[in-house]
Chains A and B, each alone.
Chain A
Amino acid sequence: MSACFPLESAGSQPPLGSSTTCGPRVSELTEAGNLAGVQHIILVLSGKGGVGKSTISTELALALRHAGKKVGILDVDLCGPSIPRMLRAQGRAVHQCDGGWVPVYVDQEQSICLMSVGFLLENPDEAVVWRGPKKNDTPPGTSDEHMATVDALRPYGPLGALVVTTPQAVSVGDVRRELTFCRKTGLRVLGVVENMSGFVCPHCAECTSIFSRGGGEELASHAGVPFLGSVPLDPELTKSLEEGRDFIREFPESPAFPALLSIAQKVLIEAPARVP
């Protein structure tokens, strides 16, 4: 899962101060006011792997940046941290300061910063083999990461969760369970995003529902949460992420662009400026 932190004001303190170190003390990231400068916290969840959660997090961050916001991304995917590569930040070193770990700024303007366990692995091909309980009090595992993250962020009143699925029933099945998790933990669901929603053949413009259809909307309706939109498949998007490029800036004509922008806009509507 990842957490997107769109910020209203820069301030001099690092927007994200703490760590997802190899000992997954997710609780450390909320130590001593490190998240005090963060206005809104959005968790991007799925419950199913490979539906494009990191993609959506990254694109949401880029879209929010284009809307003039400062954004932090916390990638707590302990076993497969993809986000550094998506923002051309792989191999960057992280430093510690008195306030905690300093997140990595991925752009010159310092409008997007990122903290990922991917930065803490010496060898990118290294397997992160977790077995818990180990030296820490938070056992690893997908469900454990979720619980630990939600518990750690709860005092900061997260805006809510964006839940990502693909259209087919098998994804929807897993994501239904994730929505239950949100309900059980009192996490508000901002809405469902359906990713990989069809592919338009570049040769003949025929649209094919490669991963079945309709699942996202049905799921949102069944769970009584908003449906935020469908993002179609676009090889340019996949390539952009591989190369760490800014898809929002470079491919405004892509069929995925309007969908991504619309999702970002809906998030912004939900996030009124906090009264200081």
Chain B
Amino acid sequence: MEEVPQGCPGTGSAQAGRGASCQGCPNQRLCASGAGAAPDPAIEEIKEKLKTVKHKILVLSGKGGVGKSTFSAHLAHGLAEDENTQVALLDIDICGPSIPKMMGLEGEQVHQSGSGWSPVFLEDNLGVMSVGFLLSSPDDAVIWRGPKKNGMIKQFLRDVDWGEVDYLIVDTPPGTSDEHLSAVQYLSAAHVDGAVIITTPQEVSLQDVRKEISFCHKVKLPIIGVVENMSVFVCPKCKKESQIFPPTTGGAEVLCQDLKIPLLGKVPLDPHIGKSCDKGQSFLIDAPDSPAALAYREIQEFCGLHQPKEEHLISS
């Protein structure tokens, strides 16, 4: 992305290359020739590269810290338990890549081969790619500005050699930032099944979910549904329930009813989850009978079988 001159009419406009502000811009001739109106060639390249990927699911959240990466990691783990299912997990949270830690892959390096970048394989059928693998030390700060982040997303989608994949799960950073726009833009030509939006029950999170849903509509990204995380806490000693994050405005249930979007499930708070993630293990294996694990399984089935309904596709 080059610097645009002040008053740039826009590369797609009729004035492209012809306006007064275009004088001296390095792109002037290109724009004047009409080539500026052409889409980024990477979009087609990515479409080709991802032809071998059957299903693409974006995991979004409006708010940080609601368990989006935890969900992405465990969705990948769960789907990959079937040896015949090829699963890929892509972490595009450029500034806060949690996936390597959660998958027990901290310190792994990525390699380049003739056919592109090789993901790090946790299992034969579970490949992971994250910017976290490119940081040499866990203390390294990733302080990048927009265009460089944009370039990284493009590379991940275009140059990673995923091979034949049944499910590509994309873990995004929270909010409606450059990374989201980049991912959606580059995936727009390849068929994206849709987005799963993660929230916690409290209004401060739901507020951001509504914005996230609005973002999905704006960029025409279908919504598979919403997952409510950190729903209730069951005391391991007395087994009584507590609402640590009270759903003062009805939680995800009411939001989904109001906006007519499927509620995929509610996952309770469970100390096993944090412990397993710290160890880089799947809590579905560590605590298979916990209510949280059972909730995940149901949601996983839904994501595995789901075809987004027409009314959740392009709208507004």
Contact = CB atoms under 8 A, between A and B. Distances in A.
B175 A79 contact: yes
Interface in A183-206: 184, 199, 201-204, 206
A181 B236 contact: no
Contacts of A130: 176-178
A50 B102 contact: no
A126 interface: yes
A201 B145 contact: no
A174 B96 contact: yes
A173 B249 CA distance: 33
Interface string A118-149: 00000011111111110000011111101100
Nearest to A243: B248
Nearest to B236: A208
Contact of B278 (A51, A168, A201, A210): A168
Interface string A146-185: 1100000000000000000011111101101111110010
A242 interface: yes
A140 B237 CA distance: 46
A49 B177 contact: no
A71 B181 CA distance: 36
Nearest to A237: B244
B141 to A, nearest CB: 4
> Is chain A's interface secondary structure helix, strand, loop, or mixed overall?
loop
Contact of B275 (A49, A85, A142, A212): A212
Nearest to B4: A133
Given A49-B96, A170-B277, A239 B248 contact: yes
A33 interface: no
Question: Interface extent on A, as a size class?
Answer: 35 or more
A143 B202 contact: no
Contacts of B102: 170
Given A235-B244, A242-B203, A206 B64 contact: no
B255 to A, nearest CB: 11
Contact of A210 (B138, B249, B269): B269
Contacts of B17: none
B178 A131 contact: yes
A252 interface: no
Contacts of A50: 63-66, 174
Interface in B235-281: 235-238, 240, 242-246, 248-249, 269-271, 274-275, 277-278
A170 B208 contact: no
B233 interface: yes
B297 interface: no
Contact of A212 (B142, B236, B245, B278): B278
Interface in B133-188: 138-147, 149, 173-178, 181
A152 to B, nearest CB: 16
Given A48-B65, A177-B140, A180-B139, A238 B242 contact: no
B174 A80 contact: yes
A170 B106 CA distance: 11
B285 interface: no
